[in-house]
Amino acid sequence: MSDYLDKLTTFICNSKFGDFPGEVVERAREVVADSLAVIAAGAQEEEVKNMTARMVPIGGREEATVIGTVRRTEAAKAALINGTAGTFLELDEGNQFGRGHPGIHVIPAALAVSEERSFSGRDFLTALVLGYEIGTRIGIACKLRMSMHPHGTWGTVGAAVAVAKLMGYDKAKMREIINVSSSLGLATSRKTMLEGGTVRNVYAGVSNYMGILAHDLIESGFTGEADGLKTVYGSVVSETFNTEVMVEDLGTRYEIARNYFKRHACCRYNHGTLDALGEIVAKKALTPEDVDRVDVETYSLAAQLCDQNPQNMLAGKFSIPFAVATTIVHGSTGVESFRPQVIHDPAVKDLAHRVFVTEDPKLTAMMPKFRPSRVKVKLRDGSSLEAEAITNKGDTEDPYSGEELRAKYFDLARLTWKREVAEAIHAEVMKLESLADLKGLTGNLRKVD
């Protein structure tokens, strides 16, 4: 029996809502509000609407809400669709230390089960904080292969832990679901996102589905190996798994309080570049005609986002040349600047071919704490403009204010809900721990035409 697993399961099973510091609870509420708006907006994308229509016939089981739609379905299916919708716009929160997006891997599963079984807001928040904690710690403890995409991997364990906490598992069952769920992650490909393969958007949804499935498997008598985490994350998808990291400062350092939020509607690896570009355009307005070329020096993972000719919306979100070009052309890094029709905008395409991305090893060495980028814009009049971003806006070191997060929420919420509904949802989330039954929140999450 692994000692670190014993400490981990003891912590999960013994943790109560009252144990969490106030800043952890506050951040958890912010993560929920942000995620609900992101999911609802993503649910309006054509692929997600088609997926929902195919998978959720009217008149079926109505256990949990498919957010941003008129439909309800069984909890696992709702978790799958909501998790998928939440990654579609590339605006879901994340954790730089875990190198992934824990919230969208945990919230849909925990929310669907909480709604199905009428758990309280306090129960839901407790499960979220703990599922987020364990998933992120796996991401910190291992180093996924560079060819892998982190979505759909350790988030599965996070979702399973959240569900198990809601279900009141004891230490033995908690260990078992961790071991079972460690074998239910996906073999994801980083190349999929770079090429714009939208199957990538399903990865987080599958993690949520698998988190609920893991509970059903445990209740059915299925078992895992003795230490699935060490095997899968120490020799299968990664060569390194530090068990000490899994329990370091457990109960005093909460990973959800070290998260980041996103306002640029694209891959976070673009964000340092866009923050630096924002400094430049704040001093001097630019048009595509002004620009001779743009040179971007950044860290290794971001340097991979160098495609000057992306072919669809997802590929555009994973392209620094496109992100820079559409920002200059449209004056925004929001959702509308990354719509499918913008991909083929001649002005954007032309400018993207004048944006060049290279790696600076010194910037790579600053990871994972920082995600730096250096931008130099050479103008056709012979002058140059330069800026550098070390800390991405929205990171723990430079967080968005509560008002900025609220503004993002309403920017996205308006795509789905009337203002009064969006305000009611936000108000409920900000007092989640006082809700006796989470149905008081989820009843508002449907889209009413």
pLDDT, one tens digit per residue, over 189-230 is 999 988 889 999 999 999 999 999 999 999 999 999 999 999
pTM: 0.93
Q: Across the chain, what does the average pLDDT equal?
A: 95
pLDDT category of residue 59 using cuts at 50, 70 and 90:
confident
The model's pLDDT over 80-115, given as tens digits with 9 standing for 90+, comes to 999 999 999 999 999 999 999 999 999 999 999 999
Q: Are strands 291-298 and 373-379 parallel, antiparallel or unpaired?
A: antiparallel
pLDDT band at 2 (very low <50, low <70, confident <90, very high): low
Model pLDDT, residue 1: 46
- Mean pLDDT of the region 281-294: 94
Q: Which amino acid is at 435?
A: L
Query: pLDDT tens digits for 328-366?
Result: 999 999 999 999 899 999 999 999 999 999 999 999 999
Q: Is 213 exposed, middle or buried (0-12, 13-18, 19+ CB in 10 A)?
A: buried
Residue 264: what are its φ and ψ, rounded to 5°?
Answer: -80, 130
Nearest CA to 378 out of 355, 358, 359 is that of 355
The structure tokens listed for 17 are 């809502």
Please answer whether residues 269 and 368 qualify as being in contact, where contact means their C-beta atoms are separated by less than 8 angstroms: no
The token pair that represents 322 in the structure block: 């496109």
CB-based contact 261:408 (threshold 8 Å): yes
The dihedral region occupied by 394, where left means phi > 0, alpha psi between -120 and 50, and beta the remainder, is: left
Q: What percent of the chain has pLDDT over 70?
A: 99
Q: What is the pLDDT of residue 194?
A: 86
Q: Are 186 and 210 in contact (CB under 8 A)?
A: no
SS3 72: strand
Instruction: Collapse the DSSP code of 144 into the 3-class scheme (helix H, G, I; strand E, B; otherwise coil) and give the result.
Output: strand
Domain-by-domain residue ranges, the chain? 3-263+401-442, 268-389
CA distances (Å), 240 to each of 135, 142, 190, 374, in order? 16, 5, 19, 31
Q: Please say whether the beta carbons of 375 and 295 come within 8 A.
A: yes
- Give the CA distances from residue 253 to residues 26, 75, 88, 175, 257, in Å, rounded to whole numbers and listed in that order: 15, 31, 30, 22, 8
φ, ψ for residue 406, nearest 5 deg: -65, -40
Q: Within 10 A of 17 (CB to CB), how many other CB atoms are there? A: 16
Q: Do the domains spanning 3-263+401-442 and 268-389 agree at the CATH topology level? A: no
**The pLDDT value given to residue 435:** 96
383, with CB counted inside 10 A (0-12, 13-18, 19+), is exposed
For the 268-389 domain, the top CATH level (class) is alpha beta
As assigned by CATH, the class of the 3-263+401-442 domain is: mainly alpha
Percent of the chain at pLDDT above 90? 91
Q: What is d(CA 24, CA 47) in angstroms, rounded to the nearest whole number?
A: 35
Q: Return the DSSP state at 284.
A: S
72-73 and 373-379 beta bridge pairing: unpaired
The predicted-structure confidence for 23-48, as pLDDT tens digits, reads as follows: 999 999 999 999 999 999 999 999 99
**Are residues 246 and 8 in contact, defined by beta-carbon separation less than 8 angstroms?**
yes
Q: What is the mean pLDDT of residues 313-329?
A: 95
Q: At what angle do helices 3-14 and 171-181 cross, to 10 degrees?
A: 110
